[in-house]
Amino acid sequence: MKNIIRISVLTVVVTFLSVMFLSAQEHNHTHKADKNKESNKMLDAKEMDKNNDGKVYQCSMCSDQISDKPGDCPNCGMKLSEVSVDQAIKKMMKNGKMMDHKKMKQDKNMKDHKNMMNKEIKMKGMDNVSGMTGGMVHKGIIDVNSIDKNKDGKVYQDMMDWNVISDKAGDCPVCGMKLKEVSIDDAKNNLKKNGFKIK
């Protein structure tokens, strides 16, 4: 009887240790695969430097958006900044997964961006925000039609600060992002989707 109990306990212990060993192996394999993916992403940054001058253009908001030529970020429209390849890789690593701006924890970033904007407004003591920024930042109930001064049916809107709207091309006075040309209806829909009131 004692032998049966010993054999049973020994079997349970061996089974448990085997499961733990296999689980550790699987975790190690997954971890290596993740590291390989990350290093492939870093290699992508080096591969973007087609003219081998050691410099690339990277979006300061979307660190995974890198180009060998100057231009605008395809995700957010912000102007790409010239950086060294090493700086681009460091920024990608700092941002964790090498930031996927499309997914980019969008809700959190939008909330952070709005908080930053509100903090800046409070710091500057701006009660009438639109008056302080050349009529671009709008509060309260927004009348998009009245912003379209030239009556061409289009306005320029910030894709993060949705209440930053102008009749002329330019940059957001709060974050510096390039304003995107949109139709009046699209501007209204963007405002509605993001919790702003419109006329």
Q: Coil, strand, or helix at residue 154?
A: strand
Last residue of a domain, one of 60, 94, 128: 94
99 belongs to a structural domain: no
3-state secondary structure 54-111: CEEEECCCCCCCEECCCCECCCCCCECEEEEHHHHHHHHHHCCCCCCCCCCCHHHHHH
Asked if 85 and 125 sit in the same domain, the reply is: no
The range of the structural domain enclosing residue 89 comes to 2-94
pLDDT in tens, 39-77: 444 445 667 777 778 888 888 888 788 888 888 888 888
In tens, the pLDDT along 67-103 reads 888 888 888 888 888 888 888 887 877 766 444 444 4
Q: How many domains, in total, are found in the chain?
A: 2
Say if residue 157 is in the same domain as residue 133. Answer: yes
| pTM to 2 decimal places | 0.39
Determine what percent of the chain is predicted with pLDDT higher than 70: 68
| One domain, residues 61 and 139 | no
Confidence at 36, pLDDT banded by 50, 70, 90: very low
138 shares a domain with 85: no
Angle of CA points 107, 178, 41, to nearest 5°? 60
Q: Is residue 87 domain-shared with residue 112, that is, in the same domain?
A: no
